Amino acid sequence: MHFLDIGEVVERTGVPPSTLRYYEEIGLIRSVARHGLRRQFDHDVLMKLSLIAMGKAAGFSLPEISGMFGRDDRPDIPRDQLHARAKELERQIVELRMLRDVIRHVADCPAPSHMECPSFRKLLKSATTTPASRPPKPPAARVRPARRR
Amino acid sequence: MHFLDIGEVVERTGVPPSTLRYYEEIGLIRSVARHGLRRQFDHDVLMKLSLIAMGKAAGFSLPEISGMFGRDDRPDIPRDQLHARAKELERQIVELRMLRDVIRHVADCPAPSHMECPSFRKLLKSATTTPASRPPKPPAARVRPARRR
DNA sequence: GTACGAATTCAAGCCAACTTGAGGTCAAGC
DNA sequence: GCTTGACCTCAAGTTGGCTTGAATTCGTAC
């Protein structure tokens, strides 16, 4: 059998059935057949799900991700959009690094009140000035937690 | 006047009044007085809002952020918790860097279909295997979008 | 041929983080 | 002393990405 039963997909990807059905509902993936009621998926759904996971992790919304797959179901994304996203990720990385530094500082600085610690203020200032260079509102990638139970 | 009218806070931070009220409602910030009905804030709310913005950008939820401020309104967190958070941030940074690389690759690789490009497959594999190495449930910071509209 | 278990549908629910809207209040300027 | 406009309160709505639950349908194993 070269089709994958939904149960198999679940098992191999960890993506819950409800999510798979939801993805199909919104046209993000599609099942190629049924076995009784059971959805059967083409083998390459696995790759697609990886890409979807990555896309989500990179901050694309599901509609954006589905926009990335051409009619032929292969990834097909405008290069400039990708570059923009890479840049946005870069910005996010910088921000996280700053935050990490602030947090480390707070953890280690012996000053009684951080507000009065000059190096804290400095960190904070650089952390808050840089994003100010953001235009009004950035397209903003978001990294969602891997939900698990 | 060393109090800031809510309007002033809005103007200086870009945070909308509804959000400020919401933050106050959930105890994240507090107003120190009223002028008529108008909330007046202490000057240091600006600093606090910066910290909140940073925290959000770093993926902390609002409850988490408010947990970071002690009773006295100063950041007050157990050091080991902070170090743990810094480590988690570090992990997140690494992940984002990988994603950025994958995305850049996709943008630049001349292969007709990425699926057939070996280096894409390799990147993809490393990108999708690594998050699997996450333990069951990390404290999990998430980077939320700056909602726009 | 019946029990089982895993899948199905469909509608409704959930969460965070806000926003919106209706109706009300107040200080300041004229 | 009246108008103005920025604020107020409170409840309800919004969005995205799913999950949950009740009632149902299958294929397979016995």
Q: What is the per-residue pLDDT across B88-120, written as a single tens digit (0 to 9) for each?
A: 788 878 878 888 888 888 788 877 666 678 887
Residue B148, SS3 per DSSP: coil
Which one of A60, A71, A96, A144 would you mutate to disrupt binding with B, by most B Cβ within 10 Å of its Cβ? Answer: A96
Surface-to-core class of residue A20, CB atoms within 10 Å of its CB (0-12 exposed, 13-18 middle, 19+ buried): buried
> How does the average pLDDT of chain B come out, rounded?
77
Bridge partner residues of A39 (DSSP) = A34
A contact test, residue of B100, B137, B147, B148 with most A CBs within 10 A: B100
Mean of pLDDT over chain A: 78
Which of B54, B106, B127 is the closest to A127 by Cβ? B54
Task: Look at chain B and count its residues.
Answer: 149
Which residue, among B87, B96, B123, would best test binding to A if mutated, counting the most A CBs under 10 Å from its CB? B96
pLDDT for B130 equals 44
Report whether pLDDT(B84) > 60: yes
Give B76's contacts (C-beta < 8 A, 6+ positions apart). B68, B69, B70
Residue B59's pLDDT is what?
Answer: 76
Query: Which residues make up the interface with nucleic strand C when CB must lie under 7 A?
Result: A 5-7, 10, 17, 21, 37-39; B 16, 18-19, 21-22, 35-37, 56, 61-63, 144, 147, 149
8 Å CB contact of A96 and B95? no
CB pairs under 8 A between A and B: 141
For residue A39, the model assigns a pLDDT of: 97
Strand D atom within 7 Å of B38 CB: yes
The total number of residues shown for chain A amounts to 149
Q: Does B85 contact A103 at a Cβ distance shorter than 8 Å? A: yes
Give strand D nucleotides closer than 7 A to any protein Cβ: 6-9, 16-21, 25-27
**Chain A residue nearest residue B107, CA to CA:** A79
pLDDT tens digits, residue range A3-60? 999 999 999 999 999 999 999 999 999 999 999 999 999 998 998 998 898 888 777 8
Secondary structure (3-state) at B41:
strand
Query: Which residues in chain A have their CB less than 8 angstroms from residue B116's CB?
Result: none
Q: Distance from A117 to chain B by nearest Cα, in Å?
A: 12
Chain segment A91-123, per-residue pLDDT in tens: 888 888 888 888 888 788 877 676 678 887 787
Please say whether the beta carbons of A50 and A38 come within 8 A: no
Does residue A61 approach strand D to less than 7 Å at its CB?
Answer: yes
